[in-house]
Amino acid sequence: MGGRIWHIQDPVEQGLLYGQFAAGWGLILMATFLINHFDLFGMRQVWLYLRKQEYTPLPFKTPALYRQVRHPLYVGWLLAFWATPTMTVAHLVFSVTTTIYILMSIQSEEKDLVAFHGEAYKDYQERVPKIIPRLFRGSFMGKPQAPRTMAT
């Protein structure tokens, strides 16, 4: 599956794409630690088992990036898969396939999160977009939000 779809030759544009690629991988790593990297990859469960302790689910929380989008991990993957100065047919097939997989996974994951966290996650779904952050507060790409006030 050879053949080029695009090939960016300008060094500045290449640098920008490589920067987006690196930002995607950085976002993935940062997002895993924000929601407990060790629990996400099963290491916490093994550690608790070895210590003969009962597993306790982590509470629902929305740290940093998770206040901007519900799935920053997936945003990172999408950046890493699409930001390339040379897009071949094989890379395009890979990127399209994984994008479809990610979009389908979000639907399934969100059903599980609603079942597990109930109203807390439903409220979160209403306030925070899935993968594209809102540029402005208000009705852009979602329901209008009430203005936030500072607690005194």
pLDDT tens-digit map of 90-100: 999 999 999 99
pTM of the model: 0.80
Within a domain: residue 98?
A: yes
Domain with 73 in it: 10-127
Mean pLDDT calculated for residue range 2-6: 89
Within a domain: residue 146?
A: no
| pLDDT tens string 43-66 | 999 999 999 999 988 888 999 999
- Vertex 32: Cα angle to 28 and 35 (nearest 5): 140
Within a domain: residue 35?
A: yes
Structure tokens at 108: 């399934």
Spatial neighbors of 94 by CB under 8 A, at least 6 apart, are 81
**Strand, helix or coil at 61?**
coil
Structure tokens at 95: 């990127």
Within a domain: residue 152?
A: no
Structure tokens at 21: 């690629």
Total tally of structural domains belonging to the chain: 1
Within a domain: residue 120?
A: yes
Within a domain: residue 117?
A: yes
E-strand stretches of the chain: 4-7, 86-88
Within a domain: residue 30?
A: yes
pLDDT, residue 36, reads 87
Within a domain: residue 142?
A: no
Cβ atoms 86, 17 nearer than 8 A: no
Cα dihedral sign for 26, 28, 32, 37?
negative
